[in-house]
Structure 1
Amino acid sequence: MKTQVGIIGAGPAGLMLAQTLRLQGIDSVILEMRSEEYVLSRIRAGVLEHPTVEFLHEMGAGDRLAREGMPHEGIDLLFRGEKRRIDFPSLTNGKKVTVYGQQEVVKDLIELKKAFDGQILFEATDVRIVDPESDSPSLSFTYQGEQKTLACEFVAGCDGFHGVARASIPESGLKLFERVYPFAWLGILAEAAPAQDELIYSRHENGFALFSMRSQEVTRLYLQCDPKEDLEHWPDSRVWDELHRRLEAKDGFRVNEGAIMRKDVTPMRSFVCETMRHGRLFLAGDAAHIVPPTGAKGLNLAAGDVKLLSDAFVAYFRSGETGPLDGYEAHALKRIWAAQRFSWFMTRLLHKDPGANAFDQEVQFADLDYYTGTEAGRRTIAENYVGLPFGWPGAA
């Protein structure tokens, strides 16, 4: 087997990269270790930044997004019982975000890939990157019981935090940064119509809570909890009681209850691998960075990586230009660290830190007052939430 770009991982990063390359006449094959059913069932965050929505439309993956996505023009920050709204359009020259589940983005992109060349090999196991430092790398893998080799000119590692791509880079060449937080999120999906049209981020004495949604019929909700939380200790009645308590507001807001379809615990960490290139292997998406979900940046950071990497591949295959490939790592890291800062900031702003003292908590409330009570503070949150431009810094 032979292709121009071998892509490991059929998550958002790998699928977006394949689609943008196809539009420029560049061939790719995606190797995915999981089944298609598993990939389509993964529930992830669903807030798309303004630049990500534009990017999906540019690559021809915006039709269903335009019909079913839910545009949001702001968020509420709730503390001491009072909601304070951050209005995005008035603070960002008309920009907004769109709520559209990550699994829906993945579904749209898989259908596009299959419609044109079908080159997604699901359940491709034992993937190994061969000679990434040479001019002719390849991917060795097992597919349908047979050992196969995919020759390619470049390898894109889009296989997530636990994938083989980053693990293939020698430890001596890795530059890693990590922060693990002393709390997690207990998340639920409920068959209940959202009680309002926009997200609510709540800082409460019992811990953080988030009101969100996946559709007009499904509500997504989160509670701050211990990273080692046992779900058996959270029967449905306790979940609803705590959600009502932490999301109680003076305006009478109340979460709509419904059948809980899913419960899960999400650990919180910030992680950056600054080594995003090793020879002809390039990392994109969660293979290179993880953000706490408070800032809604995971998929959006992957989109930014893909935009830079696809432009670099196009420059190379069209004219042999290597400058964009050589600059990919440094360029991508500027936006990655900006998103890491915002995600860390929102996490610190809204969670109850088990190690904080009374002074720390009062400073936290002073920050909440400033960032919701002044135009400068609201603009800082709005500009980062709707998404810094791809190519940050210096992009229009």
Structure 2
Amino acid sequence: MYIASHDYSHAADRRSGQAAPRQVGGFKPLYERLLRETPGDAARGAAAELVRRELSLAQAEPCDLPQAPEGLFAWMQAHTQSVHASYGTYLAQRAAGAPRHYFSNRAHALYFLRTVAPTKLVDGAWLYGLVEHAHNPRFSDLVRTYVEELGEGDPDGNHVLLYRSLLAAHGLEQIDDLADEMYRQGALQLALGWNAQDFLPEIIGFNLGYEQLPLHLLITAYELNELGIDPYYFTVHATVDNADTGHARRACQAVLDTLPRMDDGGAFWARVRAGSKLADAGVGTGEAIAGFDMEREVLAVFARKAAAGSGAHSDYCRVAGRSINEWLSTPQDLPAFLQALQDNGWIRRGEPAPNSRFWGLLQGLQKRGQVLRRGEPLVD
């Protein structure tokens, strides 16, 4: 069996003559529709529209792939060497006393893990539509990559479950309040997975771009480990995305295996190149990290807790003349409440956490809870 030009050109024909779709939001609703159930025709149509829109938006972006597919392995090796060299520079800088490049503190790292969760929780989804070609040797590298993303049947190796466990270990499972844009890349990956028939070259290109070893993966793993956060999810990817026998190399081989055996004037390769640029759609790692604002995140936590805790406090403790219930019952006053806590010494910004009375209160409550769970007495 071979892939002739007419086998993959019909989707492009439907796109010809169409105006570029208007950029709109609504990534999260589509993400959830594609993730939680088998989509019907309407949902698949919306997913295909998302892919077409992203392809249109990416047209003006540069493509660093070689001009011809025959140069893919040399391109991959050059990319890998560049990443390794940059990581070596990073390690040398850290050894010389430079601060972390990504995460200012542990809260910053946890913010990042939660922010990128919608993408991590659909890891490998773009290849789902190729499973039906599992017996075609020309798709073997792609199908194998997909199966490995799922842990080859072992839950301990399933990348999505690994990330779920990482979130759960730090109480980060709740992501419903993330900005819609954070669901964009994940929605795109799901959209590709449900529309493989129409976007085969683009999926192969996306896989090619997404499976190359990125520098941010290595730095993220290093800094998470420094902050006492298990980096295993990220180190696993650094291992499987290697350029020797891993996903990076297989992604290159998959392009060569699926190239049309009849001359198509370079149309297939052009669409592979276009698809590779989709790997950069949405909020990237650097942008997600740069989006951290400590005060905004603290206020967001206060707002979530206020909804559940307003009215549940005694009136013994008053801050700036108001009870805790009074503060929490008016969401617009939460910034003033946070400032009042600082003014009254409950929170000491810029100092070690134990210096803050609020931290001591939280730690005391946590200790009492642990004692009660163990069935031990609270006093001797």
Structure showing the higher strand proportion among its residues = 1
Q: Which structure carries more helix by proportion?
A: 2
With the length of structure 2 as denominator, give the TM-score of the two structures: 0.21
Larger radius of gyration: 2
TM-score (norm 1): 0.21
